[in-house]
Amino acid sequence: MSDELRIKLKETTDFLKAKGIENPEVGVILGSGLNDYADRIEDPLVIPYNDIPNMQAGKLPDHRGQLIYGEISGKKVILLAGRFHYYENGDMQKTAYPARVLAYLGVKRFIITNAAGCINENFGVGDLMLISDHINYSGANPLIGDNLEELGPRIPDMTYTYNRELREALKKRAHEEGIELREGVYMMFSGPTFETPAEIIFARTVGADAAGMSTVPEAIIANHAEREIIGISCLSNMAAGVLDQPLSGQEVNEAAMLVKDTFKKVVDMAIEI
């Protein structure tokens, strides 16, 4: 398996290098409803996932399925507009593959974003939450299987997954711009169902502030390779049962649209700091 993965990664990254992607510094993974950040790069190199060897495009309508490369604030940045979710076919390897590609290309900083349900009742819809830590409740882990020793250890430490100094710097920068960032624990559920109210009570009890269906696989891969990680959740709805009303995907996208400008500023800052 490890040889197979290594061959695939080499094939993918050779293709991207041949397209002109050289020494990217920052990788940004864009969550549901947040793909418009992809328009941030002037004069970008846009490569549809479907053209990239071994990259699987997800099927969600609001995910573009494009890798976008260019410069932001003088840094070479790869944006992944659209991700493949674990719930799309239950394959953690496929879900985490784009993050592996970023790591293999040498990306130093991962900015991983998502839309998430808000569990913490002191936070609200439209808030942006820096992820301080996560709970992997998906029941799976992308590092299960042979380990690629050249990328990281067999049993990686996860104590400092979401870089504390960068979080502090980002909160400070955002505050100076009048943006108050929340901070909390993200809990990954497999989906594709939203959680039940009882599951959200459980999540709150074990220390979660937000619930979602992504981010954890990519963070595990980036942490394995000892890269810097900034996680940003757009709190798009109160989690199930917090309010006495059903949840919808539409609500998630509407909230993401609402915070679009703030989100753009915060991701810009996360690239710059």
Q: Which residue, 15 or 87, is less far from ligand HPA as judged by CB?
A: 87
Distance CA 52, CA 36 (A): 21
DSSP 53: T
| Binding window for ligand HPA (CB under 6 A); candidates: 2-10, 43-51, 111-119, 133-141 | 111-119
Work out how close the CB of 236 gets to ligand HPA at its nearest, in angstroms, rounded to a whole number. Answer: 5
For ligand HPA, the binding residues in 244-273 under the rule CB under 6 A are: 247, 252
Residue 197's region, left for phi above 0, alpha for psi from -120 to 50, else beta, is alpha
Q: Which residue, 85 or 94, is less far from ligand HPA as judged by CB?
A: 85
Mask: binding to ligand HPA, 215-244, rule CB under 6 A, as x and -? ---------------------xx-x-----
Q: Which residue, 7 or 243, is less far from ligand HPA as judged by CB?
A: 243
Q: Are 161 and 152 in contact (CB under 8 A)?
A: no
Work out how close the CB of 241 gets to ligand HPA at its nearest, in angstroms, rounded to a whole number. Answer: 10
Mask: binding to ligand HPA, 179-198, rule CB under 6 A, as x and -? ---------------xx---
| Binding window for ligand HPA (CB under 6 A); candidates: 50-58, 132-140, 174-182, 209-217 | 209-217
For residue 213, state whether it binds ligand HPA (rule: CB under 6 A). Answer: yes
Q: Which residues contact residue 178 at a Cβ distance below 8 angstroms, ignoring those fewer than 6 apart?
A: none
Work out how close the CB of 195 gets to ligand HPA at its nearest, in angstroms, rounded to a whole number. Answer: 6
Distance CA 144, CA 92 (A): 9
Could you give the residue ranges of the DSSP H alpha helices within 187-237?
197-205, 216-224
Instruction: Kindly state the tokens that stand for 48.
Output: 């549809």
* 165, containing H or E segment: helix 164-176
| Binding window for ligand HPA (CB under 6 A); candidates: 34-42, 71-79, 157-165, 206-214 | 206-214
Distance CA 199, CA 141 (A): 20
Q: What separation in angstroms does the CA of 205 have from each of 13, 94, 127, 258?
A: 42, 31, 21, 29
Q: Which residue, 81 or 234, is less far from ligand HPA as judged by CB?
A: 234
Task: Find how far residue 172's CA is from the centre of its chain.
Answer: 22
For ligand HPA, the binding residues in 112-171 under the rule CB under 6 A are: 115-117
For residue 49, state whether it binds ligand HPA (rule: CB under 6 A). Answer: no
SS3 134: strand
| Binding window for ligand HPA (CB under 6 A); candidates: 41-49, 81-89, 95-103, 207-215 | 207-215
Work out how close the CB of 96 gets to ligand HPA at its nearest, in angstroms, rounded to a whole number. Answer: 18
Task: Find how far residue 70's CA is from the centre of its chain.
Answer: 19
Output the CA torsion sign for 251, 253, 257, 263.
Answer: positive
What residues make contact with ligand HPA under the rule CB under 6 A?
A: 115-117, 194-195, 211-213, 236-237, 239, 247, 252
